[in-house]
Structure 1
Amino acid sequence: MTNTPNFGELPDSVRSILKTSIEQAQKAFDTFAASSEKLLQGVDTSSVPAADGLKQLNEKIAAFTRQNADANFSLALKLTDAKHLSEIVELQNAHLRDQMETFSHQLEELREITVKTVKEGSRAATQTVQNAANSVPSNPFYSGN
């Protein structure tokens, strides 16, 4: 017969160390994410067709990354307080359900932005080709016969 670990027996000092480590990791991630977002804001995409859509897509991806990381850090902190295996399983199951729903909504938002951006880009490309075709001078040596 195997003994199921009793997580309530984990000393408070160990729980405290775990929480501190998770909080430090979260602060490091927040610093990295803020730096990345600042870098993305400085990128000039004004000469790119559908630049607004690309910028919006990048901003959404950054926001979703931060949102998902925050959810995972929150779960990690909750797990450090769990005293029984059943609590851990329930916390993980609830987190998984929430994240699957979140991912579904996030993917739909990204799809909408991507479709809009592709349409804008193709419109701009079509206009560029039409402008180029219209600017070609007619051939004075060709009579059309």
Structure 2
Amino acid sequence: MTWQPAIVMMTGLFAAIASGAEDVESETKKIQGTWVLASTESDGKAVASESLKGREVRLVFEDDRVIARMGEKSVSLGTFKLDPSRTPRWYDRIYSDDSLRRGIYRLEGDSLTICLAGIGKDRPTAFGTKQGDGLSLLVYKREKP
């Protein structure tokens, strides 16, 4: 009968959609917690690691929210969305005024690398920056409890 291949195809499509949702959920769980900024680069220039000492910047992921902390100060950076089905994986930050920063991320054990474009700019395609591109490359290490 001709309807059987259609059912098989639809079943495969539903399985792929469910698997994608599970991947997003799994990645979102993995990223939860506090991350300490280890290195940063912008427009092709690395920030000296000495300048990061004594002013630890933390990125905190709580559910779908992302918060920046520096010392006693805390600032909401809005919400985030992950798409691990893309290569490289997509990271989007949505600020409270609905402005969007598109980026990519790599999550490997206790290391999180995020490359972000400026607000409203095109998503980066690789992990790195060069002069005048407006990209920021941030490397975080998971904070140990």
- Structure with more helix by fraction: 1
- Structure with more strand by fraction: 2
- Select the structure of larger CA radius of gyration: 1
Highest RCO, 1 vs 2 (Cα 8 Å, sep ≥ 6) = 1
In the superposition, the TM-score normalised over structure 1's length comes to 0.31
In the superposition, the TM-score normalised over structure 2's length comes to 0.31
